[in-house]
Structure 1
């Protein structure tokens, strides 16, 4: 059971020890209490806040608040601990007051572009955005989750203009909930389990939702897809077929990210948040050389006719139309191309760690989703050695 330092009786029963008894107020923010040998619920309060830049905690003694009544000490100490956390997290500058769910999301999204995009689509325009943090209840979050799960996903637009939707995938719901859960956890401690204050319970991940992507397009199918893609989107789609990158990471590339002299590509905006540099083969380098020609370094490497970069809402319709015209499965998406390219690399015998580094994921994830293919390739290779 979690420690509750707001209860005077519970503090009085704590064991006297050098290490403070810690209570988590929110992610990266803790309040500690070191009982006095004199007993009676007296002791010293300590604040602890995590500094992400330094990779360590900053600790500060708050004193014993001896002039306050027992039930007032916690409130005073909690406020000072939260103030310390704000100072540490913002590099010494107090951030703007966070009053609503929208405020919490905007603060969290300042350095997280992917989260910002999800909040823009599913939070800021929702009734949840205006709910006061102090008054947030499980029912508010539960109702938001129900609205999210019921929101269909646009798949494609047919020639006659009919819009096609599909039900939102459970794995997508989990990803959308994860960023909101993380944003709220930065400013709000979990509520008591089973109570209306337990906002976090409505954001629990759906178990077994992350199914393996099984749709694979052979190289000939991918060539046909590129052929059927309109001229505007064809270079972007071809690049997806050549490089095992996330579509969003590819779309975020600028002309300055590609070094034509060394055929090296720097991938900055990706899920991992850490830039990485990869060496490109001849076909990929030639494609990117053509795309970077006569562009300023800050211009999108893959530019649409309106001068903007590609995004999820602009690439999925041409890919769906090309898949339809090429006679490919209706589930074909931009991620299908990433999965197919990674599959080819694994089957070709490339080390899983190398594939993970190129594609921007962990070796563990590659092993989990593609390890069986590596085993099959090894068996095939051994078979070819048989006399």
Structure 2
């Protein structure tokens, strides 16, 4: 189960620590329901107030005062409420708000995506920069305003197919008036495979949001997207990784904060988001580990470090407060998605390495372990996978195996010398006759 974030005002003692202010503190109870606590400047002797907030069918934010908190007087369940009673009152208020005759608007695809991602956050899961960016780029412009009830199999199929032929979106300045794009040559089999794989990933996100809406009884039927199948044979991309010499070349070609980020990725196998969220207290000097509190699948894990990895994090943590980020940019700010891409690409060019993504350093970490004899279950645990399926898919061919050893020992092993046959030119008469 994902870890639930503890409320900052669930107890009297925690509420006493809040600064007196007319601006309330808010807690997300579930998608669309927030509970607030306001410790007013002139009401300290009476206790704070409980509030609830939600949105109407038209999207307008509404707020209500539920009662006073049991900071001073004991709760009576009506005018004075405990934290749990306030939560129940907030849910009851939102339920009555939504049950009004005109409170059931037509759910759009954009609404379904927003509520689905909000629900994932409430459950302790990261919605992810990739999910929101993917929805903004590929789903919302074409389907966002459509009612879910109006979706048809044909409409969704045409949308899926159009993504394959659409120009590839490139990074664009915020000040630009036009989005940078690049035409895609779909006659190239690899380019076509990649575009279909992108379409499948986007379809998976859309289906997840629509299925969530169906399970939560926001829509009646799911046949339109349930019957739409993804493109087949699109997952055969070659997993790329750097060997030890290439890893060192990349480190030598980078500097400063980027070099620390690359080194941390190579010596932990962690994803960029996991690295960016690391704080000083996540580094355990005694045991030589880093603690990944929140990962893609919600599972926490401890990553043991080599001597080089421990030395890296020891240097990064030296003289820093426990809640400071371990990895920072050269200007001292925390890393954010996409901020490293330009300098990372330049480092690859200086090192004369093929273009890879920062995420593929994770593959380099795993492949090095497998080649050095680590069992796949250990590799899966280090990467934070729930099983060995992904490790077997990507790295099993690197591990010593009975099958590979037997083939190398028994298969034909011939020495093929360079050809010494010289092709003679054909006579002119023969060429003319031909």
TM-score for the superposition, normalised by structure 2: 0.56
1:152 aligns with 2:183: no
In 2 relative to 1, CA 305–201 (structure 1 residues): closer, same or farther, beyond 3 Å?
farther
Residue aligning to 1:134: 149
The C-alpha deviation readout for 1:66-111, integer Å capped at 9, x for no partner, is xxxxxxxxxxxxxxxxxxxxxxxx9994677782222222222123
In structure 1, distance between residues paired with 2:397 and 2:288? 32
Q: Shift of the alpha carbon at 1:301?
A: 2.0
Q: Shift of the alpha carbon at 1:172?
A: 3.8
In structure 1, distance between residues paired with 2:171 and 2:250? 17
In structure 2, distance between residues paired with 1:369 and 1:277? 22
In 2 relative to 1, CA 368–319 (structure 1 residues): closer, same or farther, beyond 3 Å?
same
1:100 aligns with 2:108: yes
Residue aligning to 1:225: 250
Q: Shift of the alpha carbon at 1:359?
A: 1.0
Residue aligning to 1:64: none
The C-alpha deviation readout for 1:208-245, integer Å capped at 9, x for no partner, is 22225332321111111112124231100111222222
8 Å CA contact 1:255–1:301 kept in 2: the answer is yes
In structure 2, distance between residues paired with 1:309 and 1:145? 36
1:116-127 mapped onto 2 (5 Å cutoff): 116-124=128-136, 126-127=141-142
With 121-130 and 165-174 compared, the bigger mean Cα shift is at 165-174
In structure 2, distance between residues paired with 1:142 and 1:136? 10
1:266 aligns with 2:291: yes
1:175 aligns with 2:191: no
8 Å CA contact 1:155–1:317 kept in 2: the answer is no
In 2 relative to 1, CA 350–343 (structure 1 residues): closer, same or farther, beyond 3 Å?
same
Residue aligning to 2:40: none
The C-alpha deviation readout for 1:20-72, integer Å capped at 9, x for no partner, is xxxxxxxxxxxxxxxxxxxxxxxxxxxxxxxxxxxxxxxxxxxxxxxxxxxxx
Q: Shift of the alpha carbon at 1:175?
A: 2.6
1:199 aligns with 2:199: no
In structure 2, distance between residues paired with 1:263 and 1:305? 25
Q: How large is the RMSD of aligned CA atoms in angstroms?
A: 3.5
Q: Shift of the alpha carbon at 1:353?
A: 0.8
8 Å CA contact 2:278–2:327 kept in 1: the answer is yes
In structure 1, distance between residues paired with 2:134 and 2:115? 16
In structure 2, distance between residues paired with 1:147 and 1:293? 52
Residue aligning to 2:311: 286
8 Å CA contact 1:240–1:337 kept in 2: the answer is yes
1:199 is paired with a residue whose SS is: helix
In structure 1, distance between residues paired with 2:357 and 2:344? 7
In 2 relative to 1, CA 173–375 (structure 1 residues): closer, same or farther, beyond 3 Å?
farther
In structure 1, distance between residues paired with 2:161 and 2:344? 29
8 Å CA contact 1:115–1:179 kept in 2: the answer is no
Structure 2 portions without partners, runs of 5+: 1-86, 99-103, 174-179, 185-190, 409-434
In structure 1, distance between residues paired with 2:203 and 2:240? 25
Residue aligning to 1:17: none
Residue aligning to 1:241: 266
| Larger Rg over CA atoms | 2
8 Å CA contact 2:168–2:181 kept in 1: the answer is no
Q: Shift of the alpha carbon at 1:179?
A: 2.1
In structure 1, distance between residues paired with 2:195 and 2:126? 18
Residue aligning to 1:67: none
In structure 1, distance between residues paired with 2:198 and 2:222? 28
Report how many residues are paired.
282
Corresponding residue to 1:354 among 378, 399, 419: 378
Structure 1 portions without partners, runs of 5+: 1-89, 158-162
8 Å CA contact 1:258–1:288 kept in 2: the answer is yes
Q: Shift of the alpha carbon at 1:170?
A: 3.7
In structure 2, distance between residues paired with 1:377 and 1:154? 46
In structure 1, distance between residues paired with 2:335 and 2:158? 32
TM-score for the superposition, normalised by structure 1: 0.62
8 Å CA contact 2:280–2:321 kept in 1: the answer is yes
Residue aligning to 1:342: 366
8 Å CA contact 2:211–2:222 kept in 1: the answer is no
Q: Shift of the alpha carbon at 1:131?
A: 2.3
1:221 is paired with a residue whose SS is: helix
